[in-house]
């Protein structure tokens, strides 16, 4: 936003994402990273960049991690668990690493970045996948999520 365009203050919001997918036999492999950053003046209050939830730092509830900046790196492997066409079930694991912080983007605190191990099963439904996802991290951080549909 820019004052010249009618905003209360100047601010910038930037999101960078990169993903790569491949198949090896019955396995689908995915790797990706997401960086989100916002810079704003004192006259404007923007909602924090948030992490947590299904395959977005799964050891945390949605919105638990938040700040002016957020970053994640993830690697995921999944495969079909059955051969029934009308009851497609997939399962997999993921490794995630990331966090959210305030201050300068380049001052990411090492203590505020978390490694997460995630396991999941997904059932294909007419309304989208039904996910059951569990994540664990350091310091006894863990969460279990049930979600219908995919996150955008």
Give the tens place of pLDDT for each residue, 37-92: 887 665 556 778 889 999 999 999 998 998 889 999 999 999 999 988 888 999 99
Q: 49: exposed, middle or buried (C-beta count within 10 Å: 0-12, 13-18, 19+)? A: buried
Say if strands 130-137 and 142-148 run parallel, antiparallel, or are unpaired.
antiparallel
**pLDDT reported for residue 46:** 72
Q: In whole angstroms, how large is the CA radius of gyration of the chain?
A: 18
pTM of the model as a whole: 0.84
Residues 6+ apart with CB under 8 A from 109: 99, 101
Tell me: the pLDDT tens digits for 82-133? 988 888 999 999 999 999 988 777 777 777 789 999 999 999 998 889 999 9
Residue holding tokens 């993921």? Answer: 94
**pLDDT reported for residue 77:** 98
Please say if the pLDDT value at position 151 is more than 80: no
Q: Which residues pair with 65 in a beta bridge?
A: 51
């Amino acid at each position: 936003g820019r004052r010249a365009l009618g905003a209360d203050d100047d601010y910038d919001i930037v999101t960078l994402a990169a993903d790569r997918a491949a198949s090896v036999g019955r396995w689908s492999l995915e790797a990706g990273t997401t960086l989100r950053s916002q810079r704003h003046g004192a006259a404007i209050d923007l909602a924090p960049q948030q992490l947590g939830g299904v395959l977005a730092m799964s050891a945390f509830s949605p919105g638990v991690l938040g700040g002016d900046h957020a970053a994640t790196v993830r690697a995921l492997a999944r495969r079909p668990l059955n051969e029934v066409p009308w009851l497609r079930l997939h399962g997999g694991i993921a490794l995630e690493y990331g966090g959210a912080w305030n201050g300068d983007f380049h001052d990411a605190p090492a203590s505020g970045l978390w490694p997460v191990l995630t396991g999941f099963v997904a059932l294909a439904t007419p309304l989208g996948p039904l996910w059951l996802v569990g994540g664990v991290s350091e310091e006894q951080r863990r969460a279990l999520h049930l979600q219908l549909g995919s996150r955008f």
